[in-house]
Amino acid sequence: MNLTELNRIATAMVVPGKGILAADESSGTIKKRFDAIGVASTEESRRAYREMLFRSKEAMSQYISGVILYDETIWQDAKDGTPLVKLIEQSGAIPGIKVDEGTQGLPMCPGELVTVGLDKLAERLKTYYERGARFAKWRAVIDIASGIPSMTAISVNAHALARYAALCQAAQIVPIVEPEVLMDGDHDIDRCYEVTSRVLNKTFQELRVQRVALEGMVLKPNMAVSGKKCAKQASVEEVAEKTIRLLRACVPAAVPGIAFLSGGQSDEAATAHLNAMHKLGPLPWGLTFSYGRALQAAPQKAWSGKAENVAAGQNAFSHRARMNGLASRGEWQSSLEQKAA
């Protein structure tokens, strides 16, 4: 393991002003999103859509540091025969790959899930590295509801995250460690804070046990937010203050950076929250975004599967990337959204 190189890549992934595009939707997830815009989800339509994003010169060169790909996408070529991985590299961004294989029910823990995909991961990482991937992602899912999460669910998912991270570093790939506490319930922000604290503490305990070099990883956590069904939604300022307090308490300064997931927040809310956190610095780690839907919803709608709409889709993508790039420096203002509307 070359830790110097891993640290270089991890640091580049969270460089100020740029963030990570999560374009790793499973075939099932992207079908739902294409259904919403009236586009049939085929291998060709998925390729065309992602090629549109990766050829967005302004967004990719100025605001995107890395792209998380799905297994199908990393092997696809653009219409002119150029591997999509090469399009990403040519823009100056770093290609990455989602390596978990989804979730399944956790035995003896009703309503809870465990992420799977460790079998033969070492072999898969080797082929992904040869294709050009320099970082990977594994997502653990922790739900909040009556009586859950259990310590069992937190422990087994943290253990799997750490095993995955160790395998990545052994393959000279930077692991994005993503323990996501879902925001789907009716819990308040304090309950989210408490559960996320437990999850992060257990995750870092397991990372140390598995001898993962913290200097060669990136953390992708949820923010401390109210559940979607909670009657009282926390303000932007409260989300920022409690999230930063949580991270300061749980995330070692050795970690080069933190790239938030959006987790179902609206486009503008995800941007506003990230921006507000940068008002609370200086921070011991880089702090940026690793958004999927919050970067892609607008370009998907503008594109709508039509070749004549590629430019409109790229403009929408560039706008959202720029807004989040500004937020990752604490320079975003809501008036910038209004001007673009």
Q: What is the pLDDT along the chain (341 residues), one digit of tens a residue?
A: 999 999 999 999 999 999 999 999 999 999 999 999 999 999 999 999 999 999 999 999 999 999 999 999 999 999 999 999 999 999 999 999 999 999 999 999 999 999 999 999 999 999 999 999 999 999 999 999 999 999 999 999 999 999 999 999 999 999 999 999 999 999 999 999 999 999 999 999 999 999 999 999 999 999 999 999 999 999 999 999 999 999 999 999 999 999 999 988 899 999 999 999 999 989 999 999 999 999 999 999 999 999 999 999 999 999 999 999 999 999 999 999 976 55
Catalytic residue (one of 18, 98, 137, 220): 220
Annotated catalytic, 194? Answer: no
Beta pairing partners, 179: 140
Domain, as residue range, for 252: 3-340
238 is catalytic: no
Which of 261, 292, 304 lies closest to 40 in space, CA to CA? Answer: 304
- What CATH number is associated with residue 158? 3.20.20.70
Q: Long-range contacts of range 244-248, CB-CB < 8 Å, 24 or more positions apart?
A: 244/277, 244/280, 244/283, 246/193, 246/196, 246/197, 246/200, 247/200, 247/221, 247/285, 248/284
Number of structural domains the chain divides into: 1
Residues 260 and 295 sit within 8 Å (Cβ to Cβ) = no
Q: Which of 178, 180, 206, 242 is catalytic?
A: 178
What's the pTM?
0.96
Write the CA distances from 169 to 7, 21, 138, integer angstroms: 11, 21, 13
Beta strand pairing call for 135-142 and 94-98: parallel
Q: Quick one: tokens of 146?
A: 């009556």
